[in-house]
Chains A and B, each alone.
Chain A
Amino acid sequence: MNYRMMGKIISQTLAFEAAFMIVPVIICAGEGAGRTMLSFLITMLATLGVAGVLFFLCKNAKKGFYAREGLVCVGLSWLIMSLVGCIPFCASGEIPKFIDAFFETASGFTTTGSSILSDIEALSKGALYWRSFTHWVGGMGVLVFLLAVAPREKKNGGFTMHLLRAESPGPIVGKLVPKIKQSAMILYILYIILTLLDVIFLVLDPEMPVFDAVCTAFGTAGTGGFSVRNIGLSYYSPYVQNVCTVFMLLFGANFTCYYFLLMRNFKGFFRNTEIRAYFGWVFISTVMVFINIRSLYDTAEEAVRHAAFQVASITTTTGFASTDFDTWPTLSKSILLAMMFIGACAGSTGGGFKVQRVILLVKDLRRNIHQVLHPNEVRTVSMDDQRVSEKVLKNTGMYLIAYVLIIVISTLLISVDGFTLTTNISAVAACTNNIGPGFEQVGPTLNYAGYSAFSKLVLIGDMLAGRLEIFPILVLFSRSTWKKSL
């Protein structure tokens, strides 16, 4: 394996992470949280130092960067990033226990939004900002950011495709324009514009403080779900909740489609199978949940608002809560649980199994059923008028197996702590799908603090596996990854 090239890339990610810490330092300085500021500052400088040394050591990297390096590099980067990101929380004493801080940061970067904090408002603003900012950068991916801004490697441009593929969600990862740097840049520009729009719409509400607006926008953009208020989004006005509903849905859609819109290819947008299925599901679920919960609320407006908000929040794997949906009837909860597993669109900032994969699997299943009846018939699977290769279908099937296995094994492992079955299953589902809150003991008004350190580690693994689509994390544990020769 090309360790030096990997070291170089990891050193660059670290340098960017350190650079991002400058904002919390400034915020802390402004509010006078001395200890927190100092811990951010020291972490920043130390990280920069380590990144510098690592970069220097890996200066003479050879070419040769293949799928294996790409996967391992992405897996390691995210692990290291989460570890470095949790140092300020620990050092400042805002989250005293290391495992809790690690859980919180991993949950942030993976855009999960599962928290171990019971009193969020006790944290300093700098720490709260950092907590929300991890969502934003984790949503589109820090390596994609690296690809967008790092200078082009001469005569070795190809390796970056492996990084993009390993970090971007979805069964088929392509480019928007021929150059990867520009593709990554387009993605980030779209992302930044949408985030800014979100902030602007949020601050239009006179009750909304700018700090809350920015943090909420970060949580929405990354489809993360950290809020800066103890009672989550129910703290804010109905207007803010509706803005969030719209933007959550926007961030959960495939970003390639926004590029289509930008290029005035409206047909490409509205005819897109995934986009149609995604909005279709959201609409049907909202209607069903609304009918189911109508009696719980005084006005229809309130019921619609909460139904739409919660469906959007769970489908896009954001995990904000406008109300305690754990008290809803079982049918609504079941719908939400189903939406948890389906998740958002491929190529969005959301997590989950991805709408595109579900469509592919359903089409493949339909073909197989057909072939049972007509064994000699030859059929291909296509989506958006393009044939889906058998390899992609096979990989999608494999992904399903890995996904189910991880959920089953994780549920078994955390059952040791003695919570109810619903709690455990929903906790694992919420972490693997990067949602945040689950049901019962990990419901929207409660948190993950009750789990043991071991269970938290398992859940951290689930979050990372879910965000990076399992394989970059799985290969870290595979023996053949680290073998010198294959």
Chain B
Amino acid sequence: MKILIAGGGKVGDTLTRQLSAEGHDLTLIDCNASVLEAAMDKYDVMAIQGNCAVKDVLIEAGVDDADLLIAVTATDELNLLCCMTAHGINKNLHTIARIRNPEYRKQFYEMRDTFALSMTVNPEGQAAEEIARLIQYPGFLKLDTFAKGRVEIVELRVLSDSKLVGAKLSNMYSIVKSKILVCAVLRDGEVIMPDGNFELRADDRVFVTASKSNLSDLLENLGIISRKVKRVLICGGGKVSFYLAGRLEKAGVSVKIIEKDPARCEELAQQLENTTIVLGDISNRTLLESEGISNYDAVVSLTGMDEVNIITSLYAHISGVRHVITKMGRVDNSSFLGSLPIGSVVCPKELCCNNIVRYVRAMGNQTGAAIAVHFIADGMAEAVEFVADESVKNCGVPLKDLKLKPNILVSCITRGGKTEIPDGNSSFNVGDTVVVVTNSNNSVYKLDDIFE
């Protein structure tokens, strides 16, 4: 597909990497020459310098015969104008705009019509959603939903006192007493696609597929007490904090936000009635202590600085907070930070990119193409969701008789609303939803790609 990306910031960069690896024709538009030069050096893209809302620039970038425009510049208004101008030139163009100002959140749908947008993305809103979900399932580092919400892939850390240390995967059922499948293990920064003889060790990060109904059993049997989170401390009062607090307020959770900018505090206090807003600098330890950090069920570090977030989360962990969530601005750092006890790492930009990549894949959906992709294990593995149609080979053949490529795992089959965690005797039929987990060395774009 021919895709134009307006804006070469962090999201633009991540999108460029992902989409160029998938073989699309990319053109990047940015007004900063050095950003473009860096992108040209790293990826196989064309670069156009200029303001992306100017007609001539768009035409030079080839908007006439492009399929999709993704506007991810720093300002919402420019994104909207860019999409509108481009759509005026090419009526068949799909457009995606990033809109992050919370003030616009109520008019997302109207804007879609007015500006002829195919989709709007709101990284901060998505991050808040993700964090809210994590808070509802404490104990998991990360949650990805498949098959219309019936299946989840969750990330767990094997603690040194866990029952799982030294356990073989073939014995998992006797320990957790519910049908789950370990689809990937992250150990020492490397992804392993385990088999039945694989033994878990302390500090492994484990990715598990389970049906939604089994999740709470899993938590219980693993000895992770899932006490309901009632009190949440949010450090930093940015956009994510605003969305998150609003969501948690509705769920009846008591929320406190600490923010250092007085004007922003007032704004938040006016918009969030049931949230306690505290003016102060979270890098000040006395303040955190006087606000009683150890009494909270969950601490979420959401300032704009990754360093501050890491330190705050570490401090919260040491203070005995059971559930810590850290926001990261830079995608590439999360791989080596995984070894620190900073809890779940949420990266708004990554979430936003995943969302867009999913849209792109759905757009290019020929028969049998992936309908959803989630990046797990710091992006080193991906879980891909397919619907098996008539064209797919090997329908109805038991998995043990199939020859799959190395490092590919069929992690879940959903049929008629029922989820099956597959074993060797399982098979998939036409119409089933199949989730496949693979490390990034393979490229699975169609379900047929998994066979040898």
Residues of A that sit less than 8 Å from B by CB: 66-67, 152, 154-155, 157-158, 160-162, 174-175, 177-181, 389
Contacts and interface: CB of A to CB of B under 8 A. Distances in A.
A161 B40 contact: yes
Contact of A389 (B33, B40, B41, B43): B33
B41 A178 contact: no
Contact of B21 (A154, A160, A181): A154
A152 B25 CA distance: 13
Interface in B1-50: 2, 20-21, 23, 25-27, 33, 40-46
Contacts of A175: 46
B443 interface: yes
Contacts of B21: 154-155, 157
B41 A66 contact: yes
Nearest to B16: A158
A161 B28 CA distance: 15
Interface centre among B21, B44, B45, by most A CB within 10 Å?
B44
B40 A157 contact: no
A178 B443 contact: no
A161 B46 contact: no
B443 A179 contact: no
B18 to A, nearest CB: 10
Contact of A162 (B33, B41, B46): B41
A175 B60 CA distance: 13
Nearest to A181: B44
Contacts of B26: 178
Interface in B166-201: none
Interface centre among A152, A161, A389, by most B CB within 10 Å?
A161
A162 B38 CA distance: 11
A178 B46 contact: yes
Given A154-B443, A157-B20, A389-B33, A178 B25 contact: yes
B41 A161 contact: yes
- Give 10 nearest A-B pairs by CB, closest first: A157-B44, A178-B25, A178-B46, A158-B42, A155-B21, A158-B43, A175-B46, A180-B44, A178-B26, A178-B27
23 contacts: A66-B41, A152-B44, A154-B21, A157-B20, A157-B43, A157-B44, A158-B41, A158-B42, A158-B43, A158-B44, A161-B41, A162-B41, A177-B25, A177-B46, A178-B25, A178-B27, A178-B44, A178-B45, A178-B46, A179-B25, A179-B44, A180-B44, A389-B33
Contacts of B41: 66-67, 158, 161-162
Nearest to B443: A154
Interface in B45-99: 45-46
A155 B21 CA distance: 5
A389 B2 CA distance: 28
Contacts of B43: 157-158
Nearest to B2: A178
B443 A161 contact: no
Contacts of B46: 174-175, 177-178
Nearest to B48: A174
A357 to B, nearest CB: 19
Given A154-B21, A157-B43, A180-B44, 17 more contacts: A66-B41, A154-B443, A155-B21, A158-B41, A158-B44, A160-B44, A161-B41, A161-B44, A175-B46, A177-B46, A178-B2, A178-B25, A178-B26, A178-B45, A178-B46, A181-B44, A389-B33
B-side interface mostly: mixed
Contacts of B42: 158
A179 B399 CA distance: 38
Contacts of B440: 155
A181 B44 CA distance: 9
Interface centre among A66, A158, A174, by most B CB within 10 Å?
A158
A1 to B, nearest CB: 16
Contacts of A67: 41
Nearest to B28: A178
A269 B41 CA distance: 28
Contacts of A179: 25, 44
Contacts of A180: 44
Contacts of B2: 178
A175 B40 CA distance: 10
Contacts of A155: 21, 440
Contacts of A158: 40-44
A161 B20 CA distance: 14
A272 B145 CA distance: 54
A174 B28 CA distance: 13
Interface string B251-272: 0000000000000000000000
Contacts of B33: 389
Contacts of B44: 152, 157-158, 160-161, 178-181
Contacts of A162: 41
Interface string B430-443: 00000000001001
A485 B33 CA distance: 28
Contacts of A178: 2, 25-27, 44-46
Contacts of B20: 157
Interface centre among A66, A158, A178, A179, by most B CB within 10 Å?
A178
B15 to A, nearest CB: 14
Nearest to B37: A391
A161 B26 CA distance: 14
A178 B29 CA distance: 12
B51 to A, nearest CB: 13
Interface in B306-347: none
Contacts of A160: 44
Nearest to A65: B41
Nearest to A385: B56
A152 B20 CA distance: 11
Nearest to B50: A386
A179 B20 CA distance: 9
A157 B26 CA distance: 12
B374 to A, nearest CB: 18
A403 to B, nearest CB: 24
Nearest to A182: B25
A178 B45 CA distance: 5
B66 to A, nearest CB: 10
B37 to A, nearest CB: 9
B57 to A, nearest CB: 11
Interface in B272-317: none
B60 to A, nearest CB: 10
Contacts of A161: 40-41, 44
B228 to A, nearest CB: 43
A54 to B, nearest CB: 24
A390 to B, nearest CB: 10
A157 B44 CA distance: 5
